[in-house]
Chains A and B, each alone.
Chain A
Amino acid sequence: AQSVTQLDSQVPVFEEAPVELRCNYSSSVSVYLFWYVQYPNQGLQLLLKYLSGSTLVKGINGFEAEFNKSQTSFHLRKPSVHISDTAEYFCAVSDRRTGGFKTIFGAGTRLFVKA
């Protein structure tokens, strides 16, 4: 079974500052890794995903994440945040063995960007 731990429930940061949202996962098999963003009262939007290949993944809105197999981490980073980045961010894993992307989500990290 897989599990996902997002180490910070809330991350306050000032506008234009860098940010890192931490995610660790556990799995006995190879996994796909994802970061999603959810704005209030809306569905999920895929930020980026790691399936294979380069461990540094670039996504939308200037976000990137690095897959670290030895540390079982997939931390999300952005060098300079905007007010509009304020949202809930979810790290997720999917078992590569199963078709259809059965996905387990972390508890979420609330990013709050202050002016």
Chain B
Amino acid sequence: GAVVSQHPSRVICKSGTSVKIECRSLDFQATTMFWYRQFPKQSLMLMATSNEGSKATYEQGVEKDKFLINHASLTLSTLTVTSAHPEDSSFYICSASDSSTDTQYFGPGTRLTVL
């Protein structure tokens, strides 16, 4: 079946640094991808919709200058957490939609820890 990968699976960084997370659809093209954040023991909160070739659409309360999203190709979206702080520590999950099968696939997630 279709697979969505994320890289890295786990990252630890110092406060003030930037971290890039990649989301790839491995065997289908995705014009739309989504980024979610999940705090411990909480649900997934939609952060933004990533559209190939255009600007991302951010949910209310999500700082677009802090969470930079780039969707440069039909198989890759990246989320960059800029100037990360400990409160940005979370589990970040992406998803990609395969329009040919009308199905959404989730990546395995990236655990970000900011020290």
Interface, chain A (partner B; CB < 8 A):
36, 41-44, 46, 51, 90, 94, 99-108
The 6 closest A-B pairs by CB, nearest first: A100-B32, A101-B104, A43-B108, A100-B97, A44-B106, A43-B109
B104 and A103 contact, CB distance less than 8 A: yes
Q: Please indicate the chain B residues that have their CB under 8 angstroms from the CB of A41 in the complex.
A: 111
Considering the complex, give the chain B residue whose CB is closest to the CB of A51.
B102
Binds A, one of B11-19, B43-51, B81-89: B43-51
Residues 56 to 115 of chain B near chain A (Cβ within 8 Å) = 93, 95, 97, 99, 102, 104, 106-109, 111
Bound: A94/B36 CA distance, A: 14
- How many residues belonging to B are interface residues under a CB distance threshold of 8 Å? 23
B43 and A105 contact, CB distance less than 8 A: yes
Q: Is the interface of A mostly helix, strand, loop or mixed?
A: loop
Bound: A89/B31 CA distance, A: 28
Q: Please indicate the chain A residues that have their CB under 8 angstroms from the CB of B46 in the complex.
A: 102-105
Interface, chain B (partner A; CB < 8 A):
30-34, 36, 42-46, 49, 93, 95, 97, 99, 102, 104, 106-109, 111
Q: Please indicate the chain A residues that have their CB under 8 angstroms from the CB of B31 in the complex.
A: 99-100
A107 and B43 contact, CB distance less than 8 A: yes
Bound: A106/B42 CA distance, A: 10
A102-B49, A108-B42 known; A43 and B32 CB under 8 Å? no
A94 and B104 contact, CB distance less than 8 A: yes
Tell me the smallest distance from the CB of A94 to a CB of chain B, in Å. Answer: 7
